[in-house]
Amino acid sequence: MPVSRRKLAAALAVCVVLPLSACGSGDDGGSSDASGKIEGDITFQTWNLRANFKDYFEGLIADFEKKHPGTHVKWVDQPAEGYADKISADAAGGTLPDVVNVSPDLVAPLAKAGLALDLDKDAGQYRKEYLDGAWASHQIPGMSGTYAFPWYLNTGPLFYNKSLFEKAGLPADQPPTTYDELFEDALTIAEKTDGKVATLANVPTVEDFGRYGVPLMNQEGTGFAFNDPKGVELLTKYKELYDAKALDPQALTATPESSGKKFLTEAVAMNPGSALDLGNFKKQAPNLYKNIGITDQITSTGHVNMYVMGVMVNSQTKRKPAAIAFAHYVTDAQRQMSFAKKVAIFPSTAGSLDDPYFTEEDGTDETRVRVAAAKSLKNAVNYTPVLFSEQMKTELRNEVAKALQGKESPKEALDNAVKACDRLLQQQG
């Protein structure tokens, strides 16, 4: 059957456009006013939580829907790997869910692109429910406002292998508590084991510089400053450790996972971790578990590092009241407390850390770690600047590696890293 070119072109155009039209979000008459009625369908995205907490979230969603008839929450969970890329694709394609589980470094570019709702404006009434530090963790230098509800916090102790300490002639019950002691012990262990046992498995990150007391950014938040003398001092010490094999030779290419594995296989003597790791040690490395020592994070500032998770509301949502209400519901004191009892995390809501669950020990390592972590969280700091992107982390890591290999002096390396990070910061806009 012959057909004219015009008809064929029209048919092809329909074929091309029809599937694309399905991508449109469509206007279903929702409310973009925060004070409107809580109703309608919203989508909630979590970060690798379905596998272990399916029942918890299904229950939470059911309770919310019951409390607010007329709402329906669709829960999607994304794997940990490539989470930022998934958000990027959704944000660029206009399909970002209404409520999204984020970390501060993910919020920053979304807020700059106008995709994260300013909660100071639209949900400021909830601010007092959260710890001040946690609320501030989703504020972006150079911008006013707060762009996500703080959710759970985490921090952890420094684990060490008592057996490896003893083999090096160091007292197993006196782990290092200052940086000087840490570096001294690390050099002793390397010397006594002929370089076969390293004490640390990772090169210093921006968080390590922060914990050492290095200023990371200038006052205005417009440029990085970790190339100051204190930063150079830390990197020079790491270079000494690397040369003496007190820092694992594979540290230059290590990831947190690979260094954790090195600790499990007793190839390194110390590793930072969290209460979650104790279960892993017990299951995967019973021999290590018998010799596990637990000590506080080492810091020169008096503030330990904490990791913050947040829940962001998409500023483009068509169901703003429902999205804000749900994001608050997920992160309110009651829900956070109940989540914390299921997994070793800590609530960011004011007063929750004073609950006996976080203050009373029962003699087990688990509660000892939990109570110590909860105590340190009260004045903990999220050292990683929210504007410090993945590309910046790579720049710093590569320059640190050059210094450790002796290709550049620590000062040159940090100067170059700051220069590269400043350039990336400017390109971020």
Partner 1 sequence: MATASRVRRQLPVSPWLFAAPGLLVIGAFVLYPFVSTLINAFTDRRTLIEGEFVGLANFRELLHDDMFWIGLRNSTLYVLGVVPALVVLPLLLALLVQKNIPGIAFFRSAFYTPVVASIVVVGLIWVWLLDERGLVNAVLETIGVGRVGFLSDQWLLLLSAMAVTVWKGLGYYMIIYLAALANVPRELHEAAAVDGAGAVRRFLTVTVPAVRSTMVLVGALSSVAAFKVFSEVYLMAGPSGGPAGEDTTLVMLVQRTGTGLTGRVGYASAISVVVFVITVALMLLVLRADRRSET
With CB under 8 A, what is the number of residues at the site for partner 1? 46
Q: Which of 388, 176, 387, 161 is nearest to 300 (CA)?
A: 176
C-alpha 310/C-alpha 86 separation (Å) is: 17
Site string for partner 1, 96-115 (x = CB under 8 A): ----------x--xx-xx-x
C-alpha 262/C-alpha 376 separation (Å) is: 27
Indicate the pairing of strand 307-313 with strand 149-154. Answer: antiparallel
287 binds partner 1 (CB under 8 A): no
428 binds partner 1 (CB under 8 A): yes
Give 110 or 304: the residue with its C-beta nearer to partner 1.
110
Return the residues of window 66-85 that contact partner 1 according to CB under 8 A: 84-85
88 binds partner 1 (CB under 8 A): yes
SS (H, E, C) 100-131: EEECHHHHHHHHHCCCECCHHHHCHHHHHHEC
Return the residues of window 370-409 that contact partner 1 according to CB under 8 A: 389-391, 394, 397-399, 401-402, 405, 407
Closest contact distance (angstroms) between CB of 105 and partner 1 is: 8
Give 30 or 109: the residue with its C-beta nearer to partner 1.
109
222 binds partner 1 (CB under 8 A): no
Q: Which of 266, 251, 130, 148 is nearest to 197 (CA)?
A: 266
Give Cα 162 to chain centroid, integer Å.
Answer: 29
267 binds partner 1 (CB under 8 A): yes
Residue 178, classed as helix, strand or coil, is: coil
Give 264 or 340: the residue with its C-beta nearer to partner 1.
264
Asked whether 154 and 348 are in contact (CB, 8 A), the reply is: no
255 binds partner 1 (CB under 8 A): yes
C-alpha 3/C-alpha 99 separation (Å) is: 49
148 binds partner 1 (CB under 8 A): no
Give 62 or 113: the residue with its C-beta nearer to partner 1.
113
Q: Which two tokens stand for residue 25?
A: 């979000």
Q: Using CB under 8 A as the criterion, which residues of the chain lie in contact with partner 1 when the complex forms?
A: 1-5, 8, 12, 15-16, 84-85, 87-88, 91-92, 106, 109-110, 112-113, 115, 248-250, 252-255, 258, 265, 267, 389-391, 394, 397-399, 401-402, 405, 407, 424, 427-429
